[in-house]
Structure 1
Amino acid sequence: MSSYFLGIDHPPGYPLLTLLGKLFTLLPVGSIALRVHLLSAFFGALTCVALWLVVRALVADAVSAYTGAVLYGLSATFWSQAIIAETYTLNTFFFFCLFYLALVFLATKNLRVLYVFAGVFGLSLANHWPLMLLSTPCLVLLLLPARREVLRASPRMLAIAFVACVLPYLWMVVRSRMDPEISFYGPISDFESLLFFVSRQGFRHVDVSQSADIADKLDYQGFLLMEMVRQYTPVGAALAGFGLIRQWRRFNLAIASALLAGWLGSSLVLGAMLGFDYEPLMKAAIRRYPLIPYGILAVWLVLALDALTSRVRRGAAAARAGTFAALAVVVFLSHRDVNVRRDDTWARDYATAVLESLDKGAVLFVHGDDDSFPIGYMNRVEGFRPDVTLYNDEGLLFRNRLFRFDAPDKGRQLSAFVRGSERRIYYASAGLPHEFSMKDGGLYWEVRKDIPGQRMVFDLSGTTRAFIDRMETMTSNDPWTLHQRDTLRRRVMSVLAYFKYYEREVFLSGGLSTYYDRLAQTPHGALGRLTWFVLDKADPAEFLAWVNETTSLLEKTGSKSERGWPPYMKGLLLLRLKDDAAAVASLEEAVRIYPNHKNPAALALLQYHSEHGNRMAFLDIGNRLFIGQSLDLSTTEKLRQLGARLGL
């Protein structure tokens, strides 16, 4: 969407990618989405060319260069990022171009090469500057033997790099003030706003989780090492390990040290810096960051193959080519099923199902990546259901924002909008503030002003039922798609559970039991069954059995917040059964799993200790989980009330 509308992407903005993407939207082929996907493929191919040049310069053998380039192109994660609209192949293209330019300068001492190097480096910072800066020590070490020449040329190099970097960001600022259709935060009004945007300060809550600890960092180190093995199969990884050792004999100290620094930068060093919880969605995010280290692995792999095949007295060239072909076939077959996605239409199907089912002239509030991007693309770019008006409930992304993203009274403004609108209002994420009844339809919620009071009603339309079938026949291996499917499984299951316990006749006669039984066997379907209204109706023994079953299903696939939910619901049940000791233990287990102020078990414990006068226990939880955190107004008021009961 950003490329199509020449808009402003999420921080740090990626202005260069947006401009290049706009050029690709002008190609006379396929959909707009396909054209921007081709941008990644284009720079993926150019990255392989740049890597070919690097290997050719280092090893001086054409077959080895082709081996490295082809294997890198077929590696699991690079391939996956070269077929979707993303920023990572442009980043790898810049890095390996810079590496090659540095090698050329070391060989020729031509200052013009250094100036080109500076310009390319500046442009790279207008793409994904965090990953490029993590890889910069590699380039510094590589140029160290020519440090005198580099220092003499540094004033002009810095000027060139500065201009190349600043110009795209300057365009971004100017463009943001033109109020484009897509603009993540809206107009960038001053230098402070620009610094906030480019430095990604608004994403601090994403980069650092309150519940992450040293164990998460260690888990990520192990995960990243396993990802290294996955890229080229265990055989290829073993060869790369041999190449890492071999390089200290084959290359000079500067080149060998540079390659090692480049491998460490956006892999293990970055993994140690990030504060992510170790869970499936974050693993999917972090596995994309080490594309540069994966390319360096290809260099080491080639170095190992070259060393081994050079020992063949006769037919060394044939042995080298045969080994390359065999390894390329194995790597291709290992990653083909995951990365050949011609039938993966999940995002389009989801967005179409949601938009098709809305009333004419409806308003739909979207929230996160899962709904904002696919629905926004179909509605704004492809013009599907132009009568539907999209808003982001955080004031992000779309031009028609109701308030700024940092407005202190977003809840009040949303509630006022809902109250004053005469249109049908839907929202894709729970929590839209209003004082009316609402209908949960599985795929989204609907404001129902025609139903008195603040009641919750449930419904599963024909469109939603058809999408459940689509959801359960999906064969995608994409982790983001699987995450959205699991989220929808949980939401749909909560609706099915309502019908099972509150509208039994509809549940049985409407064919809903089939969907219920199917989803109950999945981890997130089982999770969706553990709701407050089921707790009110289900037999306690049956509910406890579901808690145990869900805990088992989520053990290896759930996030911390998801794994903390079953013991939380168990604690609520035990409180109702007057088993306070077991209830508190279960709630504490939920907090141990997910030690975050967003965990409802934390507030439940605070409420229990407040009601029972346990001042020290109350303070312990409050200090550990709530002090120093950014809390919403309702949580702050709740804490004030609970603390007042204890004289705090």
Structure 2
Amino acid sequence: MPASITLEDAGLFQMVCQLGGISHPPGYPLFTSICQFALPPFGSSVLAGNMLSAIFASLACMVIYSCIHQMTSSMTTAVVVSLSYGFSATFWSQALIIEVYTLAVLGYVVCWRLLLAYSAKGNERYIYLAAFTFGLCLSNHWPLMVLSTPALVLGLWPKIGEFLNQLKRPIVWVLILLCFFAGLTPYATILFTPSPEIALIGEVSSVRELVPYIARSHYDVIDNQTVAGFSDKLGYLMWLTGETAQQLGIVALPVVLVGMYAGWHHFPKWMTLQLVVLLLGTTVLLAMLLNFSSEPLYHATYKPYPIIAYLPMAVWFGLGLNFLFERLHLTQAIKVLVSVVAVVSIGMGNLAQNDRHTDNWVEQHGIDVLESLPRNALYLASDSFEVGVLGYLNKVVGIRPDIELRSPDNQFFSNRLTQPFTSIEDQTEVLRDFLVHTERPFFAAGLKLEPAEYWGGYHRGGPPPLTSVVRNSKMDTAADRLLDQYDHSASLDAIEFNVVFQRLVQFTRQYVRLALTSTLTEGEGHRLDRLQRTFPGRLATLEMLLPENRAGAKPVLHEIAMEGLSDIPWQATRASHALMFEFAGHISLLPPADPESAKIFFSESTRLYPLESNKSFRVLTQLEKNQNN
């Protein structure tokens, strides 16, 4: 379990839980209500927030044990299923960090257990408790719960006739609805959070504002990308197939298949159908609903979503082992021994990717950035690292309280200049006016500032006077640490890689500018060489050198581009792929020009990133016009 802050939503949840506020849509009010009560006594400890997820995970495994024991009457099978799911790749990863997913699993399996109890006894109270729990689940992560609901409904099948008869009584409807809406009451906490310190859009003061917030309408652009098409859906399904197969390890797959056979032939058909529908809910169905680019960065973003859908894999694994035990007529002692070995094997197989006790590079880089800024600096935080990690370190831990963090798009922090619903043009104008009149030195990494002074890892925008670049010795060590991370980038997921990528681009811009305007020391030359051996470093080098248009530079630039195209990391985005091809196209047009090669490069760039913002379209159109003339 990491003892320092991590990426994705960890920093944001830590701030919301420690400082109060509203989490990003849909708000996750059940989770934030619990953590805002439980975490403050532990101060700024990251471990306390991470332990909360671990507690939810442990409780979920206990309930899973109860469910499987109810279904199979086998203690061994119940233990195997609960522990194998506990050690499954995705569930384990989410049990280590402050997140909403283990609570989502806990809520789902509690509903499942209550419906199993109803199927066994037919007592109405289990339906009322299930309705209340279902409402609570929707108050935590409603998209996962809604996609998993069809499987829950199938749990009513053994008592469907009795259930329909009970629904003929109006009082049953009334009590079910009362319990359900009681479970939704955590959403009221969003309405009753005035002037939140941390919130995506600020205060949500009316039901009219609450509904689109819960509906996640603010993420429509992310969930429906222009670049995405049907091939992306297929790509996502193929990726999900591999992810599903790897949850318990590839060697467990034969046992899972045996379990599917055993479940179909030795248990009620509705149970197998329930597991299949659950597996398809946040995998196939989710892939069909979403419309985003199928590439590693978005795979990593949505990686936790199928966490509930992976539960059937553990169930089938347990059923498969039990079926083999019975066919082989093994003694109880051998059954226990084999079960222990099987569960330990799953745990050992997933240990390497989930052993994060030394995972501190994200927090260290955040500290490096904050400590390197001049006194009373203003930092414009744009991405999840800057908002989440820098925000947590600055506002919760209290590192560099003299620094002010602001969001250029007026999100998350309470010191917004205008409402985030304001048009982009108006927000840009308000920010520009603010920066013109501020006396504080201001900095950014994700936001382009003009004119810009490169400081390494970020750049300064003002107030003047500015030079094109400065030596910032406090960030040199940070650059070396990130380069070390890049050298071991095979172990980084796409989100972590993207953070390293963006920062190395900034460092390369600084060092290339230093090389163009001054004489580098031996240490600086070595650092620049390391930077230019990375894919982001090559991109940034070409970005800086192409506009220089220096005579005789084409062979060197061509070599950099070809090295970049031959060494594209698997985590790199389509946009960065396309940009390298675009640069290669521009290099081909340098004297002596090679228009045919340029067209090939520009065409590949547009294929990879077919958006109008891709400048290759304009150049390609011009080349075709010139050819026709």
Q: Does 1:117 align with 2:130?
A: yes
The code of the aligned residue for 2:543 comes to T
Change (3 A) 1:528 1:165: farther
Structure 2 CA distance for aligned equivalents of residues 85 and 415 of structure 1: 36
CA contact (8 A) 2:581 2:605 kept: yes
TM-score (norm. length: structure 2)? 0.91
Question: Which of 551, 554, 559 in structure 1 is aligned with 2:573?
Answer: 559
2:416 counterpart residue number? 401
CA distance in 1 between partners of 2:179 and 2:583 (Å): 56
Give the direction of change, closer, same or farther, for the CA distance of 1:344–1:76 in structure 2 (3 Å limit): same
Pairing partner for 1:141 from 150, 154, 158: 154
CA contact (8 A) 1:115 1:156 kept: no
Q: Distance in 1 between matches of 2:316 and 2:561?
A: 49
Matches within 5 A, 1:172-251: 172-175=190-193, 178-251=194-267
Alpha-carbon contact 2:53-2:100 (below 8 Å) kept: yes
CA distance in 1, matches of 2:205, 2:627: 51
CA distance in 1, matches of 2:190, 2:442: 33
Q: Which runs of 5+ in 2 are unaligned?
A: 1-14
2:67 to 54, 58, 69: 54
The answer to whether the Cα contact below 8 Å between 1:523 and 1:554 also exists between their aligned partners in 2 is: yes
Match of 2:389, SS state, is: helix
- 1:131 — aligned with what? 144
Q: Quote how far apart the aligned CAs of 1:531 are.
A: 0.7
**Number of paired residues?**
601
Pairing of 1:409-428 with structure 2 (within 5 A)? 409-428=426-445
Identity value in percent: 28
1:163 aligns with 2:181: yes
Distance of aligned partners of 1:106 and 1:33 in 2 relative to their CA distance in 1, 3 Å threshold: same
Shift of 1:116: 0.3
2: CA distance, partners of 1:335 / 1:566: 35
Q: How much has 1:608 moved relative to structure 2?
A: 6.4
Write the distance in 2 (CA, Å) between the matches of 1:156 and 1:299. 35
Distance 1:416 1:608, change over 3 A: farther
Query: Quick one: which amino acid aligns to residue 483 of structure 1?
Result: N
Check whether the contact 2:380–2:447 (CA below 8 A) recurs between aligned residues: no
Match of 1:482 in 2: 497
The answer to whether structure 1 residue 519 and structure 2 residue 525 are counterparts is no
The farther-off stretch of 600-609 and 355-364 is 600-609
State the AA in 1 paired with 2:187: Y
- Return the match for 1:549 from 560, 563, 572: 563
Give the superposition deviation at 1:478: 4.9
* Deviation digits for residues 581-618 of structure 1 (CA, Å, limit 9, x no counterpart): 44344222211111123323234446767x86999xxx
Contact 1:535 1:573 in 2 (8 A): no
- How far off is 1:367 after superposition? 0.6
Matching residue of 1:371: 386
Which residue among 373, 378, 389 is the counterpart of 1:358? 373
Shift of residue 146, structure 1, vs aligned partner: 2.2
For residue 481 of structure 2, what is the aligned residue in structure 1? 470
Displacement of 1:573 in angstroms is 2.7
**Aligned pair 1:531/2:543, yes or no?**
yes
Q: Residue 53 of structure 2 contacts residue 98 of structure 2 at CA under 8 Å; is this kept in 1?
A: yes
Contact map agreement 1:535 1:543 (CA 8 A) in 2: no
What is the CA–CA distance in structure 2 between the aligned matches of 1:449 and 1:579, rounded to whole Å? 44
1:339 Cα offset (Å) = 1.1
More contact order relative to length (CA 8 Å, sep ≥ 6): 2
- The 2-side partners of 1:234 and 1:581 are apart by 46
Give the direction of change, closer, same or farther, for the CA distance of 1:234–1:516 in structure 2 (3 Å limit): same
| d(CA) in 1 for partners of 2:48, 2:279 | 31
Amino acid at match of 2:235: D
Distance in 1 (alpha carbons) for counterparts of 2:560 and 2:266: 60
- Please, which of 497, 504, 514 is the counterpart of residue 499 of structure 1? 514
Q: CA deviation at 1:555?
A: 6.2
> Take 2:606 and 2:373, find their aligned partners in 1: how far apart are those partners?
39
Q: Which of 289, 302, 311 is the aligned partner of 2:305? A: 289
The CA deviation at 1:247 is: 1.0
Please report how far the alpha carbon of residue 161 of structure 1 lies from its aligned counterpart in structure 2 after TM superposition: 4.6
Cα distance, 1:213–1:124 mapped onto 2, change above 3 Å: same
Q: Which residue of 1 aligns with 2:8?
A: none
The Cα of 1:157 is off from its aligned counterpart by 5.2
Q: Secondary structure at the match of 2:309?
A: helix
Bigger shift: residues 208-217 or 402-411: 208-217
Deviation at 1:532, TM superposition (A): 4.1
Match of 1:451 in 2: 465
Cα displacement (A) at 1:533: 3.0
TM-score (norm 1): 0.88
2:604 to 589, 597, 621: 589
Who is 1:572 aligned against? 586
Could you list the runs of 5+ residues in structure 1 that have no partner in the other structure? 616-648
Instruction: Work out whether residues 118 and 157 of structure 1, in 8 Å CA contact, stay in contact via their aligned partners in 2.
Output: no
1:278 to 294, 301, 306: 294
In structure 2, relative to structure 1, the CA distance for the partners of 1:148 and 1:231 (3 Å cut) is same
State the shift of 1:141 in Å. Answer: 1.3
Residue number in structure 2 paired with 1:344: 359
Residue deviations 1:30-68, cap 9 Å, x none?
743221111111101111111111111112111211111
The answer as to whether partners of 1:75 and 1:231 remain within 8 angstroms in 2 is yes
**CA distance in structure 2 between the aligned counterparts of 1:473 and 1:572, rounded to whole angstroms:** 31
Q: Output the amino acid matched with 2:436.
A: R
1 CA distance for matches of 2:501 and 2:62?
39
Deviation at 1:440, TM superposition (A): 1.5
CA distance in 2, matches of 1:260, 1:470: 46
Q: Is the 8 A contact 2:84 2:314 kept in 1?
A: yes
Write the distance in 2 (CA, Å) between the matches of 1:468 and 1:535. 25
- Shift in Å, 1:138: 0.2
